[in-house]
Structure 1
């Protein structure tokens, strides 16, 4: 210290700490001259002593003017050193960098000015301090004092020039610092960072693209900044990097894909569009390289397909098509389970388009990787079943196509029908709202006869008798009215002359017994009129309830439709179809006279040409054993019943209806018992409140009771 004091006149030191800038500047020039002389004579020890004096007594002084003088003095010393400055930088630069955090804005300003002058002298030798300088400038770019900001920007431009011309800059050492700073939200800092990224990327010798995954997320963050200028700068930088990716053979698509997937779900519209655009390009460029990330990418694409912004929807759909077009194999890292998981998740999306695309993916996977998809079926079936309740018919139809594809295997077909029955049992509203659509579509996709046989097999032994009756009525109505089931109706009509028709009739009859009206309808469809009449005759007063009459009303109206035109035509020859006539009159007798169905059927029967029916035929029809035609074929009968044992079928019907009557009686008894219990409790409550012995006497006061303490 003493050596330094002897080298610099006291007047120079006084002026260096003066409050006037001009005096400090003149003192600095004196110091510059002294250092030049010492440099020429090679006295670096004395130079170090002077620098040490400037650092300790001035730059580190509690007095602001001393600190300002110390900074300008250090810059002057560097200028005096000239080309020899590099060996003293470890002494000169740290105190200047420390001053960037000074509480006095003027000190911070002079620190920028000092470092600027130092950098102009040492140029490339300055690079060893780059990270520390960058960190300091990053903070100063957001300084509260405009003059400090301005000085920092000037210094920043010089440092950029030095870095771009230097061959000593280490991008590997810089990237961790950049990655850390990319999360700063201050707009001035963001501008500073984007500026550096752009500059470094423009240097051919610096491979910024190779480190893009380290700061890509930060750039995407800036796309949603409130400042239009920052958004524009970030977008420009991203566009440049995307162009470089297109021209580069070696890119780490995987790490960046993970970032893009997250950003595709951003609440900011512009960020989503940019992210989905990048994903689109990545799939075109990376293709097989992205196979392990397909599930995550699909998870980002599917929601964007339903985005409120049309541009995003267009790019998302194009990206989805690109992804579908790539045939990947599990051996290449294609995770079928993960893709299925994403698809199942998106089945609950609030957007119809997304749900449909999710189903399309399940369908495509079934086609390409059937065995693998089937192995995960336990996790998928429930989701597909739940999707049957979807508000969109388009979704439901696609779900049924997926179900049908799975059900190509017999065991999965049986499981599908069983699960559908259970689903309808739990959700009666679904049966009412979508039952017809589900059954009709499955009949088209899988084979109507097979579907109906399996439904009947499941319902035949159903223990929930109320549900069984409702389900059978629904299936029966679909059978009688759906255009898709015309061939199945034709087969039932052939039950007396066709073995397949016979087997189908027997199969359906077993479960149709749950509903008298369904049974009658099936017999009419099969032209088994005498058994139909016998079913009507077997009905008791318990069977003819409001639900039965509603079903009967539907049947009467159906008899007037083209489906039953053959029955109406057969009424032209009542002599040949006496049991048909008796059946229809039986139905008429069950209907209330004031009902519309009664009037419809009575009007129809009035048109029957009874003059063609002889008295003997009428008597025979009224007295004939209804099962006589089971064993023989009469010449005047259009159909033959020799193939079906209707007597056993009618016994089966009566047994089933007996179970239903017992069930109804049990329900009624339970209801009456519950009602009686409620009434009894109510009466007891009323009685107990009016009994004299239950009236509580007034409590005596304890104030005047001797020997008793109040508690």
Structure 2
């Protein structure tokens, strides 16, 4: 080792600088600091550059202690340069960066220490190497050595402080780096990325919301991280972003659409409840911010909300969104009805009661606000509503009956062809004046009763009684009677007659009809009224005996009040 090899440093100084003992290396660094000051003061800039080249060479030496010496020497040079470091930033930083790939963890640690001191002196001029610094710190955040990670965290905090204090910093440079790393699967790398987003979000003067669509999906994926610390930090950052969104309501529509699609995906995804919850919170906030403007995404919102209505942790947010959307619905709303109907029919047989109820309420709401638009899809909706009559939940059944009744009472009859029921002209004449939907509904109901005996036996009375409440006993009995006249299945007809007989005799819904039959004054008026009733109800002569029997029983029942008939009346 000769002096000329390391000029302007002496061989002795270099030997001390590369010693295995830290204290000796530190003492040599102090000498280098003094020498750099002297060269700078004497304006021997060429010699100063040679000195930095020597130190760079040491950082690439085969001996680990030599590399450590080169690192501490560069830090000492930076301290000596002080405010003049801007002209030497590259010569100071670049040699240190190469040492972060060193297999020796102690070298990597000393590289952290050296770079910290260099960046602390260079301040904003160090940002010319921001990309390399960020990438290095990102890799070091997952370093296997705890001391290296600790050293990197100190350097990371320093770099954040410098960025936030530099008005000329290009936020686009940072977000480009974040975007490239947002899908990292390593928890430590994720925590690093989130920490940078959090730091930038604390600076109101830095506009970062415009980049949200580029990182939103990656952030939501981080909510499913195995480390609680990563999940908590990510949730906090998403909260910060949401506050920024409140401040800046007017955004690019394409970007808004992209973000809604991301939120829908994560609200529907299986797995992390936290991810789904935060997605619903975001959707709810978007809805409050943009109101009617988001109805064009109604089908997407329903896709996310409907399955969550029964989840104990999610239903609060889901119900709030669902209610708000329903309140916004109007006749002139900008809605893709075809897509909405498709989503509703997909979920109408959902395993959870609350979801099925919500679907029925949506169809009902559409029937109220835009009946003409709904009826254009009735060929798809009506059969599904009919099939729901076999639902095992009474609440769903009653709501379904209410909706079917509303449809049957509607004036719009488009899409209904009674000819498909194969009824003769006389029957169609007897059904004149009755809503075609009611006829189709009643016909379908009888077909369901015929094919599903359990439905007839278990729910038949409830269904017929509820229909009498909703549509009037006269209309229901008339329609059922006319259709039964055309039925050749005598066993089924007998079952239906028995069911209708029991309801007529005992249910409160038919009290007025019983009263009319019970108060006939004479046998002549009985037969006269009976024939009118028979004609109205559509019964043939061979069933007169049945009605006579009913009326006779009704007249023998002694009622002192208007209370409903009890079962004892037809013993």
Query: TM-score, normalization: structure 2?
Result: 0.79
Does residue 501 in structure 1 map to residue 533 in structure 2?
A: yes
Contact 1:492 1:504 in 2 (8 A): no
Equivalent of residue 482 in structure 1, options 507, 512, 516: 507
Deviations 1:197-238 (A, max 9, x none): 222112122123333344444555555656555554444444
Contact 2:295 2:325 in 1 (8 A): no
Change (3 A) 1:135 1:475: farther
1:69-88 to structure 2, matched below 5 A, reads: 69-88=69-88
- Which SS does the other structure have where 1:144 is aligned? coil
Equivalent of residue 307 in structure 1, options 311, 314, 326: 311
Rounded Cα–Cα distance in structure 2 between residues aligned with 1:331 and 1:379 = 22
Match in the other structure for 1:281: 285
Match in the other structure for 2:13: 12
Shift of 1:119: 0.5
Change (3 A) 1:228 1:331: closer
1:133-282 to structure 2, matched below 5 A, reads: 133-184=133-184, 186-221=186-221, 229-251=229-251, 254-265=257-268, 267-282=271-286
Match in the other structure for 1:117: 117
379-388 or 77-86: bigger deviation: 77-86
Shift of 1:363: 0.4
Rounded Cα–Cα distance in structure 2 between residues aligned with 1:23 and 1:486 = 109
Match in the other structure for 1:648: none
Change (3 A) 1:30 1:519: farther
Q: Give the alignment's Cα RMSD to 1 decimal.
A: 3.6
Change (3 A) 1:44 1:481: farther
Change (3 A) 1:129 1:380: farther
Equivalent of residue 297 in structure 2, options 293, 296, 302: 293
Shift of 1:357: 1.9
Rounded Cα–Cα distance in structure 2 between residues aligned with 1:415 and 1:98 = 81
Match in the other structure for 1:392: 393
- Which SS does the other structure have where 1:61 is aligned? coil
Does residue 318 in structure 1 map to residue 320 in structure 2?
A: yes
Shift of 1:464: 5.5
Change (3 A) 1:97 1:509: farther
Deviations 1:603-633 (A, max 9, x none): x9xxxxxxxxxxxxxxxxxxxxxxxxxxxxx
Shift of 1:122: 1.3
Rounded Cα–Cα distance in structure 2 between residues aligned with 1:304 and 1:236 = 23
Rounded Cα–Cα distance in structure 2 between residues aligned with 1:186 and 1:246 = 31
Rounded Cα–Cα distance in structure 1 between residues aligned with 2:146 and 2:465 = 75
Shift of 1:470: 3.9
- Which SS does the other structure have where 1:496 is aligned? helix
Rounded Cα–Cα distance in structure 2 between residues aligned with 1:72 and 1:329 = 74
- Which SS does the other structure have where 2:61 is aligned? coil
Contact 2:119 2:126 in 1 (8 A): yes
Contact 2:517 2:554 in 1 (8 A): no
Rounded Cα–Cα distance in structure 2 between residues aligned with 1:466 and 1:48 = 109
1:443-454 to structure 2, matched below 5 A, reads: 443-454=468-479
Shift of 1:290: 1.9
Shift of 1:191: 3.9
Change (3 A) 1:426 1:14: farther
Match in the other structure for 2:371: 370
Shift of 1:160: 1.3
Rounded Cα–Cα distance in structure 2 between residues aligned with 1:223 and 1:201 = 18
Contact 2:501 2:550 in 1 (8 A): no
Change (3 A) 1:58 1:352: same
Contact 2:514 2:554 in 1 (8 A): no
Rounded Cα–Cα distance in structure 2 between residues aligned with 1:200 and 1:280 = 25
Match in the other structure for 2:460: 435
Change (3 A) 1:236 1:496: same
Rounded Cα–Cα distance in structure 2 between residues aligned with 1:284 and 1:236 = 21
Q: Which one has a bigger Cα radius of gyration?
A: 1
- Which SS does the other structure have where 1:7 is aligned? coil
- Which SS does the other structure have where 1:19 is aligned? coil
Change (3 A) 1:268 1:231: same
Match in the other structure for 1:23: 24
Change (3 A) 1:87 1:412: farther
Q: How many residues align?
A: 524
Shift of 1:123: 0.6
Match in the other structure for 1:401: 402
Deviations 1:244-297 (A, max 9, x none): 444444356544444444444565455544443443333223212322223322
Gaps of 5+ in 1: 528-563, 570-599, 605-711
Match in the other structure for 2:429: none
Gaps of 5+ in 2: 414-434, 519-525, 559-568
Change (3 A) 1:391 1:122: same
Deviations 1:531-589 (A, max 9, x none): xxxxxxxxxxxxxxxxxxxxxxxxxxxxxxxxx231578xxxxxxxxxxxxxxxxxxxx
Report 1 or 2 for greater relative contact order, CA contacts < 8 Å, sequence distance ≥ 6.
Answer: 2
Shift of 1:394: 0.9
Change (3 A) 1:77 1:346: same
Shift of 1:426: 3.1
- Which SS does the other structure have where 1:100 is aligned? helix
1:495-574 to structure 2, matched below 5 A, reads: 496-497=528-529, 501-505=533-537, 507-509=538-540, 520-525=545-550, 564-567=553-556
Shift of 1:109: 0.4
Does residue 126 in structure 1 map to residue 126 in structure 2?
A: yes
Contact 1:298 1:342 in 2 (8 A): yes
